[in-house]
């Protein structure tokens, strides 16, 4: 076996670990595969004599690649495909083994991914590497361009949000949860009549610019018009607390969409769709009926 074949075999042995890291960083299996493959290109072109710990070296390289990918998402334009469409990148799915995809998805959970998507790229990297993969802060610090103490603070902020998402309970909103559950069910099933019974006649649906860029309408007024917008088109929504009020949240590809619902007298009077990452980071977001505590947390 020549050096190239030996190196390729060593890399393949680390591939499951690297894909696990990249998936938790990116929340997308096709993008995770891209990041891992780029990691191989870095390795194949690098001086191997200075690599003492191959797993550690590759983890750092793939983490840097993922961080760059996360930071580039702000400038990426997605094609509109309804309020919550299918995940982009389907043309690359044939590169992902279905059993591995299921295993990765089950090991993380959509609820945790939604919370991770609300973090800044640096917070997400610090949390994923330290809390999920035991990478020390002195190795995380140069990746994010911060001191070790600053990297520790990034992970602490992220950890606090993840823990809150797993531990907080639903607030006391009489009837609110039942209305939201009925709204989500009617939306998924395309039950137009049920939607009309849940929406106030003068209901208003508004979306921020980031949500509009992925297919949400800027503003729609009236129960029938709003029902037409959401009937059969709002998929993958989960009930959530948004700043203490019952609402819903979903992921469209790598985009988080939060539905802030205003409910009065058992009717939904306003729906505000929020997708702007800066706005999302200031929301107190708690996924209901989730088990994000499956993630192994420290301290």
Closest alpha carbon to 214 in 86, 90, 80: 80
245 burial level (CB within 10 Å; 0-12, 13-18, 19+): middle
Residue 35's pLDDT is what? 95
Residue 98's pLDDT is what? 54
Residue 85's pLDDT is what? 47
* Reported pTM: 0.60
Alpha-carbon distance values, 79 to 69, 89, 141, 214, 236 (Å): 18, 12, 35, 6, 18
pLDDT-above-90 percentage for the chain: 33
Residue 252's pLDDT is what? 67
8-26 pLDDT per residue, tens: 999 999 998 999 899 989 8
Residue 62's pLDDT is what? 96
* CB-CB contact of 279 with 257 (8 Å): no
**Domains (ranges, CATH) in the chain?**
3-71+79-167 (1.20.140.160), 176-293 (3.10.450.50)
* CB-CB contact of 81 with 215 (8 Å): yes
Q: How far apart are CA 188 and CA 235, in angstroms?
A: 6
Residue 291's pLDDT is what? 44
Residue 221's pLDDT is what? 92
Both tokens assigned to 86: 């299918």
Mean pLDDT per segment of 10 residues, for the chain of length 299 residues? 82 92 88 93 85 91 94 58 46 51 58 79 94 93 94 92 62 67 88 92 89 78 90 78 82 77 88 84 71 38
* Number of separate helices (H) and strands (E) present in the chain: 14, 7
* CB-CB contact of 233 with 164 (8 Å): no
Q: How far apart are CA 258 and CA 252, in angstroms?
A: 11
Residue 141's pLDDT is what? 95
Provide the CA 88 distance to its chain's centre, in angstroms: 14
Residue 89's pLDDT is what? 41
* CB-CB contact of 88 with 164 (8 Å): no
Residue 21's pLDDT is what? 93
């Amino acid at each position: 076996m020549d050096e190239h074949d030996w190196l390729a075999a060593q890399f393949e042995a680390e591939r499951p670990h690297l894909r696990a890291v990249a998936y938790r960083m990116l929340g997308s299996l096709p993008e995770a595969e891209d990041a891992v493959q780029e990691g191989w290109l870095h390795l194949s072109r690098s001086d191997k004599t200075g690599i003492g710990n191959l797993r550690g070296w590759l983890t750092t390289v793939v983490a840097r690649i993922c961080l760059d990918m996360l930071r580039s998402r702000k400038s990426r334009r997605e094609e509109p495909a309804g309020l919550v469409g299918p995940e982009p990148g389907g043309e690359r799915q044939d590169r992902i083994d279905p059993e591995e995809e299921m295993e990765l998805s089950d090991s993380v959970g959509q609820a945790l991914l939604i919370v991770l998507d609300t973090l800044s790229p640096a917070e997400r990297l610090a949390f994923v590497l330290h809390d999920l993969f035991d990478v020390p802060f002195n190795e995380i610090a140069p990746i994010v361009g911060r001191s070790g103490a600053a990297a520790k603070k990034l992970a602490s902020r992220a950890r606090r949000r993840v823990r809150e998402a797993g531990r907080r309970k639903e607030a006391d909103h009489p009837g609110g949860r039942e209305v939201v559950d009925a709204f989500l069910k009617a939306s998924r099933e395309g039950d137009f009549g049920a939607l009309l019974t849940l929406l106030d006649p003068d209901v208003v649906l508004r979306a921020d610019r980031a949500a509009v860029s992925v297919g949400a309408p800027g503003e729609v007024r009236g129960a029938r018009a709003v029902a037409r917008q959401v009937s059969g088109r709002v998929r993958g929504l989960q009930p959530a607390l948004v700043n203490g009020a019952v609402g819903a949240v979903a992921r469209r590809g790598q985009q988080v969409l939060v539905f802030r619902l205003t409910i009065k007298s058992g009717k939904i009077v306003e729906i505000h769709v929020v997708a702007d990452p800066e706005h999302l980071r200031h929301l107190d977001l708690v996924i209901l009926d989730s088990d994000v505590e499956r993630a192994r947390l420290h301290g």
